[in-house]
Structure 1
Amino acid sequence: MVSTPGEYQVGLIGTSFRQVGFEGLGPATAALTDYVRRAALKEALGVCELVVLATCNRLECYVAAAKLDAQRLRASAAKFFRGELRADLLQVELGRPAVEHLFAVVSSLDSFVVGETDVVRQVRRAIESAQAEGLAREALGHVFDRALQCARRVHTETALGSTPVSVATLAVQKIQRHFGELGPSVSLLVGTGDMTRKVGAAMARYEQGERIFVNRTLAGAEELAERFQGRAMSLEQLHRDPPREIDLVFSATSASEPVIPAETLAPAIAARVGCGRAPMIVCDLGVPRDVDPSLEGREGIVLLALEHLEVLAELNRTRLEDELDAARAIVRDLSTRLSR
């Protein structure tokens, strides 16, 4: 039994890109974007507390109750997601294995990019949101607090935090390799999340080039445009009057369906076809995809998604293998202590 206030049992049910691929995560993640659906999931699972952790590479539900049954959790979750996630692709852990998994996740040992720090903010946001919504209380609050403490130890006592990397870092590396020292002439950056901010900061280091920041609300785009010396457009404005010159599109939103249809990019793509110009680079890190997938393979465009960054992510994991062993030892030690 994991030591929690009230002596609740702690469990995990979820999946990641390793089980279902990045495309497979999209529909299930979209199903939990609002409080009503999360509250319905809590009721469907029959648990006392629930925290949903949804990132670009995982969807995990941490639960607490006086007694948990693995088969019932799996069946209830599969029924709730209505075929979006098959039961056999769901990972279910109870007790110490669930806690150890959470500790490994927040310490970035199970991340798409090992050593990244974005997951700490995502985990903290997940527990704070669940507590604010009344979906989680002391039991999971205690476990998540210990998990965040574990992450601090891992990044302090190993070299995983010495060279911070993230999905956005890998995307920037790809972009810089393609455009070289001059950078893109016109960049379209969609969304206001952490990844868009990091790419916006990287693009702002180029002395030349125009940066257009796009968001559903113009105010969100204006904030980034002012910060990174660009101009702002609302998503509606982009659809109504798309730029005819675009070298780079970067998008990373949590929208439940594509926010950039093919016709929005059509004028800029047409301007590149048949005249010897390099293709437009579209880096789509949305889960589900932000850009109309029908554009993949078309002339005049190169589409990069999360799966295209896997080679770089694996090289990063190999480089840090020795540090991973030390980090895993810390995770095992702290999760075992909580389970005594």
Structure 2
Amino acid sequence: MRLFSCQNCGQLLHFENSVCMRCGSSLGLIPETLELTALAAEDGAWRALADNGLWRYCENATLGACNWLVPAGGDAVYCPSCRLNRTIPDISDPVRATLWREIEVAKRRLVYALRRLRLPIPSRAEGAAHGLAFDFLADSDPSAPVLTGHDDGLITLNIAEADPAERERRRVELGEPYRTLLGHMRHEIGHFYWNELVRDGGKLDACRAVFGDETLDYQQALQRHYQTGAPEGWQEGYISAYATMHPWEDFAETWTHYLHIVDTLDTAESFGVTIEPDVSDDPDTVVELTFDPYRTRNFDKLIDAWLPLSVALNSLNRSMGQPDLYPFALTPPVIEKLRFIHQLVRGAKRSG
């Protein structure tokens, strides 16, 4: 995620900001350009300092759940991110409303990344038969909890995942090193793009050569995974234990980490991060980010930058007494799977 600056006063801004803390300007993100802009009120709308256009806030801004903009002269009420919602929880409940707002932050980060990558985003709300849509649901029956998952374009998320205590409880119970809202979003969208770019994109044979045969019975694989766990030595060929369950999950987990890597490198580039340890003259430990991770066609650039950066990030976390920020190993087979995702993404053409 790149950094932004206030066009009115030059203050450093972050993606989630809706008000400049220095000059008090209202802020909004222009979806078409992905620019966070300072705004000036004008005739019931907002004049954007970034492009001089007239804009209105997305309707969900009134609920504190969005800072994106829609054209002032158009019919759109919701921004491109919020238009993907099919179901949201009962926000008359203040607890559920708070959880939903956290989910929307993660979803906007996801949509931002998809747009930076220029991936197609067909929307069910706009008529695409198997287009993308989100259901954010709360448990109502203890015997039948809402399951987070993907089904033919529809991504369902249990809003309990937005509760940090509940999410941590589930992480520990399942023995996971990592569990976040954004991670859920990136994983489930990986299933969506398997449909879009692999199944419907003529890449089935190429994908099977890397991830295996997805026609294996999924329910049997799921049952086996939760009964016996990941096979011994799984770390050599998979990014996570869950990835060993089925080729679909291996693809979605690898897709998730590709987005992790690209977006974190983008943040590091925005901060001008350079890694050059004083105690080593090994060139593999040096990185100076001078390229756009979202646009580069050179996959090796991404990995060559990511490996030393992830070591530095983990070391910083340990200095604060925190777990490793990136507790995963990129072995040669995993890197080749990431390479496949990169080539798939770079070959995609955005149509919506």
In proportion to residue count, which structure has more helix?
1
The two structures have a TM-score, normalised by structure 1, of 0.29
Higher-RCO chain (CA-CA 8 Å, sequence separation at least 6) = 1
